[in-house]
């Protein structure tokens, strides 16, 4: 089978397009024929040798955490999955050399999730890191729900910074599906259009005016929760717009120290919650996967330009170009078409 591997860390030129043996699933494992692989910033950073890298010297690793496809074979002890099931996968390359930039991958059963017929393979490949991170960020407030679903965020106002990014896009969709009023900040008119298409109730271009004042016009008592992509840059804004007992859920960093003025946060009983999918634990991952599947059944997580998440596509042998596109901050979602499937020429079965 065809696969993309790297045996050392570095820029995208370390990726090799090679032939390898088709792996066999062991006990508790599932082999998935990958149809579409999704690329996230964590994938190129891991390949480059960043904090998410886990490898022994010289080991051949296949990149990319996320993807979608069809169950091809199951190992002993696997329950709830059968050959032919449509699935999406997450954390495929975490502590394993078995990412989704290959035609077949073998994963523990808990990292393989049913993909409803209402969702396309493109949607499935766009879940994983973005949607599960967004789910966790929306469920860490003391006064908010531990699970998402229709009505669970009713009456709450959520601010999503960077609403045109993959995590921001998923956070908007999941929050709206759960009944929240959603405000988002963006940096351009094109991104504003995308955030609106994703379902945000209010979109604020922070480069065109006083964002804090605009947010306070919408939420006079402050926002209940912030899904934060740039904590250092937005620290002052966040403190100005948070409601009493508000939560800032931080899932990314600009690489700069986070400096907080203590008193304003004391006065509002502010909670900062940091979110990293790799160490969040299986209980949180299972909850996220279950709620995401329910959202998929309700068609709440579409992708594509019209849904606020443009798709950029590459073939498997151009995985290095896909990584470079994500590193260059391509707007929307970068996908890799890995193999064909029995549902026709497009990548859907129940297309969005």
Domain locations in the chain as residue ranges: 2-127+301-337, 132-278
pLDDT tens-place string over residues 280-291: 999 999 999 999
Q: Whole-prediction pTM value?
A: 0.94
Mean pLDDT of 222-238: 97
pLDDT tens-place string over residues 263-303: 999 999 999 999 999 999 999 999 999 999 999 999 999 99
Task: pLDDT band for 255, please (50, 70, 90 cuts).
Answer: confident
Give the chain's mean pLDDT: 94
Residue 344: pLDDT over 50? no
Residue 98: pLDDT over 70? yes
Which CATH number applies to 2-127+301-337: 3.40.50.150, 3.90.180.10, 3.40.50.720, 3.40.640.10? 3.90.180.10
Distance from C-alpha of 46 to C-alpha of 60, rounded to nearest angstrom: 13
pLDDT at 52: 55
pLDDT at 190: 96
pLDDT at 56: 64
pLDDT tens-place string over residues 33-80: 999 999 999 999 999 987 655 556 678 999 999 999 999 999 999 999
Q: How many CB atoms lie within 10 A of CB 83?
A: 11
Task: pLDDT band for 341, please (50, 70, 90 cuts).
Answer: low
CB distance 335 to 316 below 8 Å: no
Distance from C-alpha of 324 to C-alpha of 12, rounded to nearest angstrom: 7
Residue 343: pLDDT over 50? no
pLDDT at 349: 40
Instruction: Give phi and psi for 179, each to the nearest 5.
Output: 95, 5
CATH number of the domain located at residue range(s) 132-278 in this protein: 3.40.50.720
Mean pLDDT of 241-257: 95
pLDDT at 59: 84
Which residues have a Cβ under 8 Å from the Cβ of 142 and sit 6 or more positions away?
A: 245, 247, 271
What whole-number percentage of the chain has pLDDT above 90? 91
Mean pLDDT of 210-223: 97
Residue 20: pLDDT over 50? yes
Rg (CA), the chain: 20
Query: Three-state secondary structure along the chain?
Result: CEEEEECCCCCHHHCEEEECCCCCCCCCEEEEEEEEEEECHHHHHHHHCCCCCCCCCCCCEECCCEEEEEEEEECCCCCCCCCCCEEEECCCCCCCCECCCECEEEEEHHHEEECCCCCCHHHHHCCHHHHHHHHHHCCCCCCCCCCCCCCCCCCCEEEEECCCCHHHHHHHHHHHHCCCEEEEEECCHHHHHHHHHHCCCEEEECCCCCHHHHHHHHCCCCEEEEEECCHHHHHHHHHHHEEEEEEEEECCCCCCCCCCCHHHHHHCCCEEEECCHHHCCHHHHHHHHHHHHHHHHCCCCCCEHHHCECEEEEEHHHHHHHHHHHHCCCCCEEEEECCCCCCCCCCCCCCC
Distance from C-alpha of 47 to C-alpha of 257, rounded to nearest angstrom: 24
């Amino acid at each position: 089978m065809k696969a993309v591997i790297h045996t050392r860390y570095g820029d995208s030129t370390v990726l090799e397009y090679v032939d390898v043996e088709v792996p066999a699933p062991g006990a508790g494992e599932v082999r998935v024929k990958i149809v579409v692989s999704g690329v996230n910033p964590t994938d190129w950073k891991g390949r480059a040798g960043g904090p998410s890298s886990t490898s022994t010297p010289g080991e051949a690793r296949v990149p990319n955490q996320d993807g979608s496809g069809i169950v091809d074979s199951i190992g002993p002890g696997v329950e709830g999955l059968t050959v032919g099931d449509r699935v999406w996968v997450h954390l495929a390359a975490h502590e394993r050399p078995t990412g989704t930039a290959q035609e077949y991958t073998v994963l523990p059963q808990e990292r393989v999730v049913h993909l409803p017929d209402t969702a396309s393979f493109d949607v499935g490949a766009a879940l994983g890191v973005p949607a599960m991170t967004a789910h966790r960020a929306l469920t860490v407030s003391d006064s908010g729900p531990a699970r998402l679903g229709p009505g669970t965020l009713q009456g709450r106002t959520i601010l999503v910074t960077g609403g045109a990014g993959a995590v921001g896009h998923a956070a908007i969709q999941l929050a709206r599906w759960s009944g929240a009023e959603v405000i988002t900040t963006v940096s351009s008119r094109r991104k504003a259009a995308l955030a609106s298409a994703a379902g945000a109730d209010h979109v604020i271009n922070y480069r065109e005016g006083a964002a804090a004042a605009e947010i306070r016009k919408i939420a006079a008592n402050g926002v209940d929760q912030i899904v934060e992509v740039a904590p250092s840059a937005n620290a002052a804004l966040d403190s100005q717009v948070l409601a009493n007992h508000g939560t800032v859920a931080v899932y990314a960093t600009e690489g700069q120290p986070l400096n907080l003025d203590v008193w304003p946060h004391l006065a509002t009983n502010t909670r900062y919650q940091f979110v990293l999918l790799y160490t969040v634990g299986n209980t949180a991952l299972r909850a996220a996967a279950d709620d995401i599947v329910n959202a998929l059944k309700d068609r709440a997580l579409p992708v594509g330009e019209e849904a606020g998440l443009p798709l950029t596509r590459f073939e498997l042998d151009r995985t290095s170009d896909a990584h470079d596109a994500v590193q260059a901050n391509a707007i929307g979602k970068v996908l890799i078409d890995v193999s064909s499937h029995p549902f026709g020429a497009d990548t859907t079965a129940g297309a969005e």
